[in-house]
Chains A and B, each alone.
Chain A
């Protein structure tokens, strides 16, 4: 053991270069995993707000065949069933649909969503993007939030009126007056030119509904609790004619993107690992070769090959551990920086992008889960150890005399 560490420090330069190579690889891997995961979590959170919660409750068959006349009539029953479930932070009933909006100047096809203005998570989708006016107020019926693109097309501003026209549950055309309460700009053309937000009360008046909703968005404490909460929700709502779906099924596009992007990140990680392994193999192999004569001498002096093997393995392990401390430190530092300050891509993306139905935030925050770090550390450690095996075996099999004479 002591010998192994002394061996390492006999050639400081080589050890340092190797450590830097492994450490840097590890650090970069950590930062890229952190940013990748953090970015995906941000996307999912944004998607969940743009979509319908971490878990969505909707009329049976809606996912396959969405239509305006599918309505959950006994919403009170559902709200009752959704009370006091662990991990559930907020439950938002909604009415969603398609319609036609018109002003004195123009008209346009739109999608509307009606929410309870008091729900914080729904509010967080558009409220930060308001460029004029205010968010819907609790108790208000005739207010509407529209996007900047739509406002321009309709030539309306805050306070002006628009008429919403749509098909009610009995497929009859119905219409209602709304006043523009606020205008938002997310930078996403699909939202800004197409999406309108009204209050549940307003939607019920508009569609002539006494009660009833079209979906319930369930927000959990975090996206990692979907699997825990889903069975509970399903068992509570089992007797009702509704389907309970996780965001992965409601937004398959988003899931696929995250998976594909993950695959890309893994490819990159794989390349880093190969390079790191290569570096380790080289260092150990070289240092063993270099010391062939020395090892030969040691063997000749009666050192057992077994001991020699162990010594080299120790050397490798020590090198790996030191590199991991270095890399872990660097990587964690980088992660901490990106987790608090964030990686700001604003300069690179003048307009907001949509990806798989979510807004991509221009500031990425790193998020590292312990499991991921452990996995990475173990992989790097194993890679290091395996690459140390070959030189160790090689050295322990030296024929002493030949080794000494080689130089």
Chain B
């Protein structure tokens, strides 16, 4: 599960005098993603050339394998829900009271009209699994002290990108930006993290914005309104029965 759904900030500062290694930084971000369990409320704004809309939804997750999303607004889509268990996805459509399994051929299709694909939601592998990485920059940029980590997919990894660059704030190792490039080094999409907020004992960027590089006027923005970690759910919660409820 990716950053869009669980943002688990790690409020830790570099304790040692030396700079952390790239692996340490990635591990920390990864731990941030790898929340044991969480629930919250999210607003997703989508802007495209033809329309713009905003969806509000309740989200639950358990580890990387399980998540459940239920739309609460607007009215037209209230109750539409997506369940993800391991690599499988189902959509529930309250209007017709039916559950649809998303077939493999639709994995690259857009999720709810956003710039995220179904595959973005289903993918479980982590940066540490799929990429080789190095600290490519450390210092002042845009008036902030940052680390830049360059991740190159491992030769065998089933990853389409040629390179992913992650920029984190030196101060608290909270990510600022993820840049996705193709093999020719052309920027394909940009994910920016902002509005750092504390939810309980964690501090995370509460807003994630994704901009496709070929359509700079479009974006999908996810804002966490509420977020709670360590909630009491088990795998049984992520069932087709709960999808409908």
Contacts and interface: CB of A to CB of B under 8 A. Distances in A.
A189 to B, nearest CB: 20
Contacts of B158: 163, 175-177
Interface stretch (B10-18, B31-39, B134-142, B180-188): B180-188
Contact of B182 (A98, A104, A107, A177): A104
Given A161-B183, A172-B87, A173-B87, A104 B105 contact: no
Contacts of B122: 173
Would you call the interface of chain B mostly helix, strand, loop, or mixed? loop
Interface string B174-203: 000000111100001000000000000000
Secondary structure type dominating chain A contacts: strand
A121 B183 CA distance: 34
B161 A104 contact: yes
Contacts of A172: 87-88
Contact of B104 (A155, A173, A176): A173
A269 B107 CA distance: 56
Interface in B146-168: 155-162
Contacts of A167: 104
Contacts of A165: 104, 107-108, 119
Contacts of A102: 108, 160
A104 B87 contact: no
B157 A100 contact: no
Contacts of B162: 104, 161
Q: How large is the interface on A (under 10, 10 to 19, 20 to 34, 35 or more residues)?
A: 20 to 34
A167 B161 CA distance: 22
A100 B104 contact: yes
Nearest to B122: A173
A103 interface: yes
B182 A103 contact: yes
B188 A104 contact: yes
B156 A100 contact: no
Given A103-B182, A104-B183, A109 B159 contact: no
Contacts of A109: 105
B33 to A, nearest CB: 20
B182 A105 contact: yes
Nearest to B106: A100
Contact of B160 (A98, A99, A162, A166): A162
Contacts of A107: 108
A193 interface: no
B155 to A, nearest CB: 8
A154 to B, nearest CB: 9
Nearest to B183: A160
A161 B180 CA distance: 15
B157 A177 contact: yes
Contacts of A173: 87-88, 104, 107, 122
Given A105-B188, A161-B183, A177-B156, A99 B161 contact: no
Contacts of B188: 104-105
5 contacts: A99-B105, A100-B105, A103-B182, A104-B160, A107-B108
Interface of B: 87-88, 104-105, 107-108, 119, 122, 155-162, 180-183, 188
